[in-house]
């Protein structure tokens, strides 16, 4: 496919940018650019404004509320959104659960669940990982047994992102005992306020509350709250994780950070000039930018393949590895650019550093530590490399 944007594409990008600038709350924008998390109500407000404009789910088929845009338009949309500091889409519902339901769900599930994802009236979280079942996800030990028309769930999930804000969760649980551990798993759908669910926060090294432990103690869910067939959860989970990996490269965010790095580096003194003129900065910035452009071209190629009915193969694993590494390299370069000003990390520190340094210095350390997660979640990068070695290289 051609990689040059047409005049219509560029006009489309301008329209999207104008919409964001007119509708996105300035406080939310600054929060996101500072590496802080928007609240659920801030996300919901933004998602509802996209919904009102008909832009709630560009990746979905039109029949379910998608936009019908081309692959390039969707890419531009994502990119402008992240460049402008808009909240991300509610990824667990929109990019993971929804594609699985569209393919394997019942008509009733599609009718009842998908519209509430579009408006964010329902905010979903993903309960897959457990202590001892992360990379080896098939090792899931939480169970659900069928009793009088209800699944009774017992067990524990961990690292459940935004479980404290979500009102719905999809969980991978063992519903039958099989010789092969990949068999006998199922995905169940439940409300977070179901009796027997306990959410405990995990505070990460950047002092944020993003992830949680979730405990299930005789939690009862109607039998029909299962996706597809009992025991085929592994098949659905693999389908779902393929979608997770294609959306995890965050091309637009890295492009934004590449630009902002130059802007900030040109305000911080270095020897007789500014950091932006330092050979070490120019070299590292150029290296990251080259990798970023390769990533973007690969993403467009993958999206074009999917648009023509192809299935993401090891390209999705490749994107996950390179996308996360580019973001981590950027976070490291940010740390070196702000230098000792980065010590000011903390929500109140900005008042103390005042006019001395760009406000970005205030959040850089937090973003650096937070970016460690990128090569772990969505399947660690070591696991991605194992998959590529096996599936693409036949090793
Ligand atoms: C910030 C964050 C958010 C998350 N959000 C969610 C969420 O919302 N929902 C959810 O279900 N999960 C979530 N996860 C969990 C995530 O998917 C797991 O952390 C990940 O799959 C790794 O599993 P683990 O933590 O158990 O590490 P382990 O599997 O114990 O791995 C530990 C280390 O060993 C390496 N390793 C393991 N096996 C192999 C192997 N076969 N070959 C080579 N190296 C190997 C890994 O690469 C890693 O470096 C999140 C994780 C993080 C950090």
Q: Where exactly are the structural domains of the chain? A: 7-89, 124-230, 248-391
Residue closest to 174 by CA, chosen among 113, 216, 213, 202: 216
230 is known as an active-site residue: no
Given ligand 1 and candidates 129, 141, 162, 395, which is best to mutate, with the most ligand atoms within 8 Å of its CB? 129
User: What is the sign, positive or negative, of the torsion defined by CA atoms of 321, 327, 328, 329?
Assistant: positive
- Residue 160 main-chain phi, psi, to 5 deg: -75, 105
pLDDT digits (tens, 9 = 90+) for 361-380: 777 888 899 999 999 988 89
Ligand 1 geometric centre to CA of 299 (Å): 24
What pLDDT was estimated at residue 355? 54
Residue nearest to atom 31 of ligand 1 (CA): 135
Given ligand 1 and candidates 37, 123, 128, 135, which is best to mutate, with the most ligand atoms within 8 Å of its CB? 135
What pLDDT was estimated at residue 348? 52
- Mean per-residue pLDDT of the chain: 90
What pLDDT was estimated at residue 2? 45
Ligand 1 geometric centre to CA of 326 (Å): 19
Q: Which atom of ligand 1 is nearest to the CA of 373?
A: 53
The CATH number of the structural domain formed by 248-391 is 1.20.140.10
Please say whether the beta carbons of 99 and 272 come within 8 A. Answer: no
User: Does the domain formed by 124-230 have CATH 2.40.110.10?
Assistant: yes
Ligand 1 geometric centre to CA of 36 (Å): 23
Give the active site residue among 79, 83, 244, 360. Answer: 244
Q: Where are the alpha helices (DSSP H) in the chain?
A: 7-23, 26-33, 40-53, 71-83, 91, 98-104, 107-119, 233-246, 251-265, 279-307, 314-338, 349-353, 361-370, 381-391
Q: Which atom of ligand 1 is nearest to the CA of 132?
A: 26
Ligand 1 geometric centre to CA of 381 (Å): 9
* pLDDT for 1 beyond 60: no
* pLDDT for 89 beyond 60: yes
What pLDDT was estimated at residue 298? 86
Q: What is the pTM of this model?
A: 0.91
Ligand 1 geometric centre to CA of 92 (Å): 17
Given ligand 1 and candidates 212, 377, 378, which is best to mutate, with the most ligand atoms within 8 Å of its CB? 377
What pLDDT was estimated at residue 70? 85
Q: Which residues form the pocket of ligand 1, taking CB atoms under 6 Å from any ligand atom? A: 125-129, 134-135, 159-161, 211, 373, 376-377, 379-380, 382-383, 386
Distance CA 185, CA 182 (A): 7
* pLDDT for 3 beyond 60: no
Q: Which atom of ligand 1 is nearest to the CA of 172?
A: 11
Quick one: pLDDT band at residue 178, thresholds 50, 70, 90?
confident
Higher pLDDT, 3 or 344: 344
The predicted model gives 98-106 an average pLDDT of: 96
pLDDT digits (tens, 9 = 90+) for 284-331: 999 999 999 999 888 878 777 876 778 767 888 888 899 999 999 999
Residue nearest to atom 16 of ligand 1 (CA): 377
Higher pLDDT, 103 or 251: 103
């Amino acid at each position: 496919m051609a990689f040059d944007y047409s005049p219509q594409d560029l006009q489309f990008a301008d329209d999207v940018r104008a919409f964001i600038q007119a509708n996105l709350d300035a406080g939310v924008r600054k929060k996101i650019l500072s590496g802080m998390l928007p609240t659920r109500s801030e996300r919901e407000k933004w998602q509802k404004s996209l919904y009102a404009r008909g832009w709630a789910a560009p990746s979905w088929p039109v029949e379910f509320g998608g936009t019908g845009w081309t692959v390039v338009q969707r890419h531009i949309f994502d990119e402008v959104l992240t460049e402008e500091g808009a909240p991300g889409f509610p990824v667990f519902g929109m990019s993971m659960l929804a594609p699985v339901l569209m393919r394997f769900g019942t008509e009733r599930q599609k009718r009842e669940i998908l519209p509430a994802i579009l408006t964010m009236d329902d905010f979903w979280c993903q309960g897959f990982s457990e202590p001892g079942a992360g990379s080896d996800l098939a090792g899931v030990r939480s169970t659900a047994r069928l009793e009088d028309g209800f699944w009774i769930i017992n067990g524990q999930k961990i690292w459940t992102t935004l479980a404290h804000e979500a009102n719905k969760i999809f969980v991978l649980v063992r519903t039958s005992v099989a010789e092969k551990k990949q068999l006998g798993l199922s995905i169940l759908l439940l409300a977070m306020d179901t009796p027997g669910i306990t959410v405990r926060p995990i505070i990460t090294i950047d002092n944020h509350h993003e992830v949680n432990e979730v405990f299930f103690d005789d939690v009862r869910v109607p039998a029909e709250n299962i996706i597809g067939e009992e025991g085929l959860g592994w098949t659905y989970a693999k389908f779902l994780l393929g979608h997770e990996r294609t959306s995890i490269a965050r091309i637009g965010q890295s492009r934004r950070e590449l630009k902002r790095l130059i802007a900030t580096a040109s305000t911080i003194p270095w020897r007789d000039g500014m950091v932006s003129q330092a050979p070490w900065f120019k070299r590292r910035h150029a290296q990251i930018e080259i990798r970023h452009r390769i990533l973007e071209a690969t993403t467009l190629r993958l999206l074009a393949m999917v648009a023509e009915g192809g299935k993401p193969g090891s390209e999705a694993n490749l994107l996950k590895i390179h996308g996360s590494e580019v973001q981590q390299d950027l976070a490291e370069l940010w740390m070196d650019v702000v230098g000792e000003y980065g010590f000011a990390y903390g929500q109140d520190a900005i008042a103390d550093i005042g006019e001395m340094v760009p406000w970005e210095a205030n959040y850089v350390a937090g973003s650096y530590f937070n970016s460690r997660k990128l090569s772990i979640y969505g399947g660690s990068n070591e696991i991605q490399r194992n998959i590529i070695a096996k599936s693409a290289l036949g090793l």
